[in-house]
Amino acid sequence: MSDDDSLPGPLDTAEQPLAAVVPKPDTEDAIADLRAEGVYDDDRRIREFGADAVALPVTEPPQRTQVREVVRQEPARRLRTLDDHLREQGWSEDELDRAPGSWAVIGTVVLVDVGDAPRPAEVGEALLALHANADTVLARHGIDGQHREPDVELLAGSGDTETVHTEHGTKYALDLAQVMFSPGNKAERAHMGDVVDADDRVFDMFAGVGYFTLPMARAGAHVTATEHNPTAFRYLLENAKLNDVHDRVDIYRADCRDVADGVEADRVVMGFYDAYEYLDAALAALEPGGILHMHEATPEGLVFDRPIDRIEDAAAAVDRTVEVLDTRRVKGYSEGVAHVVVDARIE
């Protein structure tokens, strides 16, 4: 993966293509920003730049994207797809048809569902070649147990599963072999940071490593966050400090029901597929006129109707009324099942 024999030289020493240097954990966000700025060069590949950074190919110096420096490099044609890399390893077209079609880069770790792909180790090596900012590739096999711990297998790389992942400026430290992180929830995490009002009082009932707590606290909300998983709780504490929001986040390692009675919240976030089982506690914490954000894994034929009915039934049981404000599909959960969110004002 390393290109140490052709490290870039100073900007003014050669008429070579440009590259923008960024820290490895910022790679995916920086690429998105450079593309939005119209200066990312898809025809060249990403290169390592020392031990902790990568050089992203650009057509001209970026004006809006934050980078460490802009350098010049020897031109290097990019193998643009996973199939390109696997073909170089001798894979046939029939084998390529069984290769993974998607994966996620979380900080310096690639998560991939290899399915029935032949030679998974070669898939791992190809993904490392495709993503210069990554140093470990994990095959994911699902989520197990009361604490929803990931079942993963090392395919390639150093095996370092602890990383810092950055999304829209929010930093998530985590160990992907010990705690879950859903790449498909990225837009929802950003959305929660956008909709919250400064000084809102938020109760995040299933906080994890801070999926929703952190963007909401960064937007100025005061968050009471509960998490039962000891490993996720430890990272939640670390991430509150990492994002400099520890003064706006009260964190409890506890069952959310045990905390709810002492909370007065303008918003309650229920980021758990079986969250409806905790609606009584959520409504106990939610002030009149407050907003509930409830997640659910719903069969396609019941999408939105079932979670709305559950909210309305729980509210009626305590003589409260419901105004549905928004409904969203976050992603597919499994075949025939969707991950959805209902936002509702509870009077």
5-41 pLDDT per residue, tens: 344 444 444 578 999 999 988 888 899 999 999 999 9
253 is in an annotated binding site: no
189 is in an annotated binding site: yes
256-303 pLDDT per residue, tens: 999 999 999 999 999 998 999 999 999 999 999 999 999 999 999 999
pLDDT at position 4: 40
% helix, strand, coil for the chain, step of 5: 30, 35, 35
37 is in an annotated binding site: no
**Quick check: 129 and 186 in contact, CB under 8 A?**
no
The residue among 233, 213, 209 whose CA lies nearest residue 223 is 213
Q: Compute CA distances 67 → 40, 48, 52, 130, 154, whole Å.
A: 13, 15, 13, 21, 31
Q: Using CA atoms, how far apart are residues 215 and 207, in angstroms rounded to an integer?
A: 12
Q: Compute CA distances 340 → 95, 206, 280, 296, whole Å.
A: 35, 16, 20, 6
Reported pTM? 0.79
Q: Which residues of the chain have pLDDT under 50?
A: 1-13
